[in-house]
Structure 1
Amino acid sequence: MRSAGDLMLAYTATIADPDATAALFTEDGVIELPYVTSIGLPPRVAGPDEIRAFIVGLLKVVPDFGFDTVEVLIDTPDQAFGEYSVERRTVTGRVFSQMYAGRLVAEHGKIKLLRESLDLVRAARAMLPNGVADIPADQ
Protein backbone atom coordinates (compact mmCIF):
# COMPACT_ATOMS: atom_id res chain seq x y z
CA MET A 1 0.00 0.00 0.00
CA ARG A 2 1.33 3.44 -0.93
CA SER A 3 2.24 5.86 1.83
CA ALA A 4 1.14 9.49 1.75
CA GLY A 5 4.61 10.54 0.58
CA ASP A 6 4.55 7.95 -2.20
CA LEU A 7 1.16 9.25 -3.29
CA MET A 8 2.43 12.84 -3.33
CA LEU A 9 5.31 11.78 -5.57
CA ALA A 10 2.92 9.85 -7.82
CA TYR A 11 0.55 12.84 -8.03
CA THR A 12 3.32 15.23 -9.01
CA ALA A 13 4.76 12.73 -11.51
CA THR A 14 1.44 12.05 -13.28
CA ILE A 15 -0.11 15.54 -13.27
CA ALA A 16 0.07 15.78 -17.09
CA ASP A 17 -1.97 12.55 -17.39
CA PRO A 18 -5.52 13.31 -16.16
CA ASP A 19 -6.59 9.65 -16.06
CA ALA A 20 -3.53 8.48 -14.12
CA THR A 21 -3.79 11.36 -11.67
CA ALA A 22 -7.52 10.90 -11.08
CA ALA A 23 -6.94 7.18 -10.42
CA LEU A 24 -4.78 8.09 -7.41
CA PHE A 25 -7.83 9.47 -5.54
CA THR A 26 -10.49 7.69 -3.51
CA GLU A 27 -14.05 7.82 -4.88
CA ASP A 28 -14.71 10.76 -2.55
CA GLY A 29 -11.19 12.18 -2.78
CA VAL A 30 -10.81 15.94 -2.97
CA ILE A 31 -8.41 18.58 -4.25
CA GLU A 32 -8.85 21.86 -2.40
CA LEU A 33 -7.34 25.12 -3.64
CA PRO A 34 -8.60 27.80 -1.23
CA TYR A 35 -9.19 31.27 -2.69
CA VAL A 36 -8.74 30.37 -6.36
CA THR A 37 -12.25 31.52 -7.28
CA SER A 38 -10.66 34.96 -7.75
CA ILE A 39 -8.82 33.58 -10.79
CA GLY A 40 -11.80 31.61 -12.08
CA LEU A 41 -10.98 28.17 -10.70
CA PRO A 42 -13.14 26.02 -8.45
CA PRO A 43 -11.87 25.94 -4.85
CA ARG A 44 -12.77 22.26 -4.50
CA VAL A 45 -13.07 19.34 -6.88
CA ALA A 46 -14.27 15.99 -5.59
CA GLY A 47 -14.11 12.49 -6.99
CA PRO A 48 -12.04 11.11 -9.84
CA ASP A 49 -14.31 12.48 -12.59
CA GLU A 50 -14.18 16.09 -11.35
CA ILE A 51 -10.45 15.78 -10.68
CA ARG A 52 -9.86 14.46 -14.19
CA ALA A 53 -11.91 17.32 -15.69
CA PHE A 54 -10.04 19.88 -13.57
CA ILE A 55 -6.67 18.62 -14.83
CA VAL A 56 -7.91 18.53 -18.43
CA GLY A 57 -8.90 22.20 -18.00
CA LEU A 58 -5.51 23.06 -16.52
CA LEU A 59 -3.76 21.41 -19.47
CA LYS A 60 -5.82 23.52 -21.89
CA VAL A 61 -4.30 26.64 -20.32
CA VAL A 62 -0.80 25.26 -19.63
CA PRO A 63 -0.42 22.43 -22.18
CA ASP A 64 2.90 21.06 -20.93
CA PHE A 65 2.13 21.48 -17.23
CA GLY A 66 4.43 19.46 -15.03
CA PHE A 67 6.25 19.88 -11.77
CA ASP A 68 9.96 20.70 -12.01
CA THR A 69 11.01 20.15 -8.41
CA VAL A 70 9.27 18.13 -5.73
CA GLU A 71 10.27 17.91 -2.10
CA VAL A 72 8.31 15.87 0.42
CA LEU A 73 9.07 17.56 3.74
CA ILE A 74 6.87 15.52 6.08
CA ASP A 75 5.94 11.91 5.37
CA THR A 76 3.89 9.67 7.62
CA PRO A 77 1.86 6.64 6.52
CA ASP A 78 -1.34 8.68 6.20
CA GLN A 79 -0.22 12.31 5.79
CA ALA A 80 2.43 14.14 3.82
CA PHE A 81 3.41 17.74 3.27
CA GLY A 82 5.50 18.91 0.38
CA GLU A 83 6.49 21.73 -1.90
CA TYR A 84 6.56 21.47 -5.66
CA SER A 85 7.23 24.00 -8.37
CA VAL A 86 6.34 24.56 -11.99
CA GLU A 87 7.51 26.99 -14.65
CA ARG A 88 5.83 26.64 -18.03
CA ARG A 89 4.23 28.85 -20.65
CA THR A 90 0.47 29.24 -20.94
CA VAL A 91 -1.28 29.11 -24.31
CA THR A 92 -1.00 32.91 -24.41
CA GLY A 93 2.78 32.74 -24.05
CA ARG A 94 2.83 34.08 -20.51
CA VAL A 95 4.99 32.33 -17.94
CA PHE A 96 3.11 30.31 -15.31
CA SER A 97 5.57 30.05 -12.45
CA GLN A 98 4.42 28.69 -9.10
CA MET A 99 5.61 27.14 -5.89
CA TYR A 100 2.86 24.97 -4.43
CA ALA A 101 2.59 23.78 -0.86
CA GLY A 102 0.48 20.68 -0.48
CA ARG A 103 -0.91 18.64 2.40
CA LEU A 104 -2.01 15.17 1.42
CA VAL A 105 -4.14 12.80 3.47
CA ALA A 106 -4.05 9.15 2.39
CA GLU A 107 -6.65 6.48 3.00
CA HIS A 108 -6.18 2.83 2.01
CA GLY A 109 -3.35 3.67 -0.39
CA LYS A 110 -5.19 6.44 -2.23
CA ILE A 111 -5.49 10.21 -1.87
CA LYS A 112 -8.43 11.26 0.31
CA LEU A 113 -7.51 14.97 0.44
CA LEU A 114 -4.96 17.17 -1.25
CA ARG A 115 -5.05 20.77 -0.07
CA GLU A 116 -2.74 23.03 -2.05
CA SER A 117 -1.76 26.65 -1.74
CA LEU A 118 -0.27 28.86 -4.41
CA ASP A 119 0.52 32.50 -5.10
CA LEU A 120 -2.69 33.91 -6.59
CA VAL A 121 -1.05 37.10 -7.85
CA ARG A 122 1.44 35.10 -9.89
CA ALA A 123 -1.37 32.85 -11.14
CA ALA A 124 -3.52 35.85 -12.13
CA ARG A 125 -0.64 37.42 -14.03
CA ALA A 126 -0.23 34.24 -16.06
CA MET A 127 -3.83 33.13 -16.52
CA LEU A 128 -6.18 36.13 -16.59
CA PRO A 129 -6.48 38.32 -19.71
CA ASN A 130 -5.63 41.52 -17.81
CA GLY A 131 -3.56 39.90 -15.08
CA VAL A 132 -4.08 41.10 -11.52
CA ALA A 133 -6.49 43.81 -12.71
CA ASP A 134 -9.06 41.05 -13.34
CA ILE A 135 -9.15 39.94 -9.68
CA PRO A 136 -12.39 41.28 -8.16
CA ALA A 137 -11.83 44.03 -5.56
CA ASP A 138 -13.60 42.02 -2.84
CA GLN A 139 -11.21 39.05 -3.16
Structure 2
Amino acid sequence: MLTPTQLLRAYLAEIQDPAAAAALFADDGVLELPALASMGIDARAQGPAAIEKFIASLLVNVPDFRFQDIHIFIETPDQAFGEYSVEASVRSTGKMYRQTYAGRLVAERGKIKLLRESLDTLAAYRAFSKDS
Protein backbone atom coordinates (compact mmCIF):
# COMPACT_ATOMS: atom_id res chain seq x y z
CA MET A 1 0.00 0.00 0.00
CA LEU A 2 1.41 3.39 -1.00
CA THR A 3 2.01 6.11 1.58
CA PRO A 4 0.66 9.62 1.01
CA THR A 5 4.11 10.83 -0.10
CA GLN A 6 4.49 7.90 -2.48
CA LEU A 7 1.03 8.63 -3.91
CA LEU A 8 1.84 12.31 -4.41
CA ARG A 9 5.18 11.54 -6.05
CA ALA A 10 3.55 8.90 -8.27
CA TYR A 11 0.82 11.34 -9.35
CA LEU A 12 3.39 14.02 -10.16
CA ALA A 13 5.54 11.53 -12.11
CA GLU A 14 2.57 10.16 -14.08
CA ILE A 15 1.01 13.49 -15.10
CA GLN A 16 1.93 12.84 -18.77
CA ASP A 17 -0.14 9.63 -18.64
CA PRO A 18 -3.67 10.68 -17.65
CA ALA A 19 -4.91 7.10 -17.19
CA ALA A 20 -2.00 6.17 -14.91
CA ALA A 21 -2.33 9.37 -12.86
CA ALA A 22 -6.10 8.91 -12.51
CA ALA A 23 -5.69 5.27 -11.46
CA LEU A 24 -4.03 6.49 -8.26
CA PHE A 25 -7.34 7.98 -7.09
CA ALA A 26 -10.05 6.21 -5.12
CA ASP A 27 -13.35 5.57 -6.91
CA ASP A 28 -14.72 8.71 -5.24
CA GLY A 29 -11.37 10.54 -5.15
CA VAL A 30 -11.26 14.25 -5.99
CA LEU A 31 -8.76 16.45 -7.78
CA GLU A 32 -9.51 20.13 -7.27
CA LEU A 33 -7.92 23.52 -7.82
CA PRO A 34 -10.32 25.82 -5.96
CA ALA A 35 -8.35 28.99 -6.77
CA LEU A 36 -9.39 28.67 -10.41
CA ALA A 37 -13.04 29.17 -9.45
CA SER A 38 -12.22 32.88 -9.08
CA MET A 39 -11.38 32.83 -12.80
CA GLY A 40 -14.69 31.14 -13.66
CA ILE A 41 -13.01 27.78 -14.29
CA ASP A 42 -14.51 24.60 -12.86
CA ALA A 43 -11.34 22.79 -11.87
CA ARG A 44 -12.80 19.91 -9.89
CA ALA A 45 -12.99 16.32 -11.03
CA GLN A 46 -14.29 13.34 -9.06
CA GLY A 47 -13.56 9.72 -9.83
CA PRO A 48 -10.79 8.29 -11.99
CA ALA A 49 -12.65 8.71 -15.31
CA ALA A 50 -13.34 12.41 -14.72
CA ILE A 51 -9.80 12.98 -13.44
CA GLU A 52 -8.32 11.27 -16.49
CA LYS A 53 -10.44 13.49 -18.76
CA PHE A 54 -9.42 16.63 -16.82
CA ILE A 55 -5.70 15.85 -17.10
CA ALA A 56 -6.00 14.84 -20.77
CA SER A 57 -7.70 18.14 -21.62
CA LEU A 58 -4.89 20.06 -19.92
CA LEU A 59 -2.27 18.14 -21.91
CA VAL A 60 -3.99 19.01 -25.20
CA ASN A 61 -3.25 22.69 -24.56
CA VAL A 62 -0.01 22.24 -22.59
CA PRO A 63 1.58 19.09 -24.06
CA ASP A 64 4.90 19.51 -22.21
CA PHE A 65 3.22 19.91 -18.80
CA ARG A 66 5.51 18.17 -16.30
CA PHE A 67 6.12 18.69 -12.62
CA GLN A 68 9.62 19.48 -11.40
CA ASP A 69 11.35 20.83 -8.28
CA ILE A 70 9.26 18.61 -6.02
CA HIS A 71 9.54 19.27 -2.29
CA ILE A 72 7.50 17.32 0.25
CA PHE A 73 7.20 19.28 3.48
CA ILE A 74 4.68 17.34 5.57
CA GLU A 75 3.66 13.70 5.78
CA THR A 76 1.32 12.10 8.27
CA PRO A 77 -0.13 8.58 8.08
CA ASP A 78 -2.98 9.85 5.86
CA GLN A 79 -1.76 13.15 4.35
CA ALA A 80 1.13 14.74 2.48
CA PHE A 81 1.83 18.34 1.55
CA GLY A 82 4.32 19.56 -1.01
CA GLU A 83 5.24 22.16 -3.56
CA TYR A 84 6.12 21.52 -7.18
CA SER A 85 6.60 23.59 -10.31
CA VAL A 86 5.75 23.58 -13.99
CA GLU A 87 7.32 25.43 -16.88
CA ALA A 88 5.75 24.68 -20.25
CA SER A 89 4.44 26.42 -23.34
CA VAL A 90 0.69 26.93 -23.74
CA ARG A 91 -0.35 25.89 -27.26
CA SER A 92 -3.39 28.21 -27.54
CA THR A 93 -1.47 31.38 -26.59
CA GLY A 94 2.16 30.57 -27.34
CA LYS A 95 3.03 31.85 -23.87
CA MET A 96 5.16 30.19 -21.24
CA TYR A 97 3.29 28.87 -18.20
CA ARG A 98 5.45 29.16 -15.10
CA GLN A 99 3.73 28.01 -11.96
CA THR A 100 4.41 26.71 -8.48
CA TYR A 101 1.70 24.52 -7.01
CA ALA A 102 1.11 23.68 -3.37
CA GLY A 103 -0.69 20.38 -3.01
CA ARG A 104 -2.39 18.70 -0.07
CA LEU A 105 -3.07 15.03 -0.59
CA VAL A 106 -5.37 12.97 1.61
CA ALA A 107 -4.94 9.21 1.26
CA GLU A 108 -7.27 6.41 2.18
CA ARG A 109 -6.43 2.71 1.83
CA GLY A 110 -3.50 3.38 -0.50
CA LYS A 111 -5.43 5.62 -2.90
CA ILE A 112 -5.82 9.38 -3.28
CA LYS A 113 -9.06 10.50 -1.64
CA LEU A 114 -8.38 14.21 -2.23
CA LEU A 115 -5.69 16.23 -3.97
CA ARG A 116 -6.31 19.94 -3.49
CA GLU A 117 -3.86 22.21 -5.26
CA SER A 118 -3.29 25.93 -4.86
CA LEU A 119 -1.61 28.09 -7.46
CA ASP A 120 -0.89 31.65 -8.52
CA THR A 121 -3.99 32.62 -10.49
CA LEU A 122 -2.31 35.69 -11.99
CA ALA A 123 0.43 33.52 -13.51
CA ALA A 124 -2.23 31.17 -14.88
CA TYR A 125 -4.25 34.06 -16.32
CA ARG A 126 -1.22 35.59 -18.00
CA ALA A 127 -0.20 32.29 -19.61
CA PHE A 128 -3.65 31.14 -20.74
CA SER A 129 -5.20 34.50 -21.68
CA LYS A 130 -4.95 35.72 -25.22
CA ASP A 131 -5.52 39.28 -23.93
CA SER A 132 -2.36 39.91 -21.91
* TM-score, normalising length: structure 2: 0.94
What letter corresponds to residue 31 of structure 1 in structure 2? L
2:28 corresponds in structure 1 to 28
Distance of 2:35 and 2:82 partners within structure 1: 19
1:67-106 equivalences in 2 (<5 Å) = 67-91=67-91, 92-106=93-107
2:108 corresponds in structure 1 to 107
Check if 1:55 corresponds to 2:55. yes
Distance of 2:131 and 2:95 partners within structure 1: 12
Give the root-mean-square deviation of aligned CA atoms.
1.2
* TM-score, normalising length: structure 1: 0.90
Percent identity, aligned pairs only? Answer: 55
2:37 corresponds in structure 1 to 37
SS at match of 2:65: coil
4+ long deviations beyond 4 Å: none
Check if 1:9 corresponds to 2:1. no
Which string of whole-angstrom CA distances, capped at 9 and with x for unpartnered residues, describes residues 84-119 of structure 1? 001111113200000000000000101000010000
Q: Which runs of 5+ in 2 are unaligned?
A: none
Distance of 1:28 and 1:109 partners within structure 2: 13
Instruction: Check conservation: 2:67, 2:86, Cα contact below 8 A.
Output: yes
Deviates more, 1:67-76 or 1:22-31: 67-76
Instruction: Check conservation: 1:4, 1:104, Cα contact below 8 A.
Output: yes
Q: Which runs of 5+ in 1 are unaligned?
A: 132-139
Instruction: Check conservation: 1:39, 1:128, Cα contact below 8 A.
Output: no
SS at match of 2:34: coil
Report how many residues are paired. 131
